[in-house]
């Protein structure tokens, strides 16, 4: 009973203090910017999405369950939703940049480099990129990946698995059927 009262008091202090909110936000901003950049592939749009997410989080931080402990997953899910909304807007589909023509390299010269991996990941759809980024780069547990993606834990596991499978043929020339 005493632990529950102390937990409630800590939660109330977190929810009522702008300083506590700011401190929690600062700890997750780098991960939020990286997630938004991975999903949107545009630094400026990513900054806008994170800024909008921070504003929404401040407005709704009273709805956060678990106080400071669940803040990271909760905020990253808001960022992911902002990125999804940004991609749905009309201007996102209208503005396109030309991709430079790619020259295929001979098979004997193929070696996977970090730029090859980055390019392969960027060719995935935003949902797959977000799943891989959250699980492998941010090292989030699958439950938090699910929360960020807005799906169940089993659906998040499937997304991570399928996204990784989609990468394999692009990185391993022996996987490509000729």
Span 28-63, pLDDT tens digits: 999 999 999 988 888 889 999 999 999 998 888 777
How confident is the model over 119-152, as pLDDT tens digits?
Answer: 888 888 888 888 988 888 888 889 989 988 899 9
Close Cβ partners of 131 (under 8 Å, ≥ 6 residues apart): 145, 149, 156, 159, 160, 163
CA dist., res. 128 & res. 121, Å (int): 8
Evaluate the CA torsion angle 14, 15, 20, 24 in order and state its sign.
positive
Q: What is the average pLDDT score of the chain?
A: 77
pLDDT at res. 169: 72
pLDDT band at 178 (very low <50, low <70, confident <90, very high): very low
Confidence (pTM): 0.57
């Amino acid at each position: 009973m005493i632990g529950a009262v102390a937990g409630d008091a800590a939660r109330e202090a977190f929810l009522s203090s702008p300083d506590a909110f700011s401190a929690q936000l600062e700890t997750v901003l780098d991960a939020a910017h990286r997630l938004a950049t991975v999903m949107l592939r545009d630094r400026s749009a990513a900054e806008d999405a994170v800024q909008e997410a921070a504003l929404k989080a401040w407005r709704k931080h009273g709805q956060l369950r678990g106080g400071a402990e669940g803040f990271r997953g909760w905020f990253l899910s808001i960022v992911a939703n902002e990125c999804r909304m940004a991609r749905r807007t009309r201007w996102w589909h209208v503005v396109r940049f030309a991709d430079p023509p790619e020259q295929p390299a001979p098979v004997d010269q193929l070696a996977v480099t970090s730029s090859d991996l980055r390019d392969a990941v960027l060719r995935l759809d935003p949902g797959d990129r977000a799943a891989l980024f959250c699980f492998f780069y941010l090292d989030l547990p699958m439950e938090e990946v699910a929360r960020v993606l807005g799906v169940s834990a089993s659906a998040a596991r499937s997304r991570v698995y399928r996204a990784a499978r989609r990468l394999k043929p692009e990185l391993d020339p022996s996987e490509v059927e000729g």
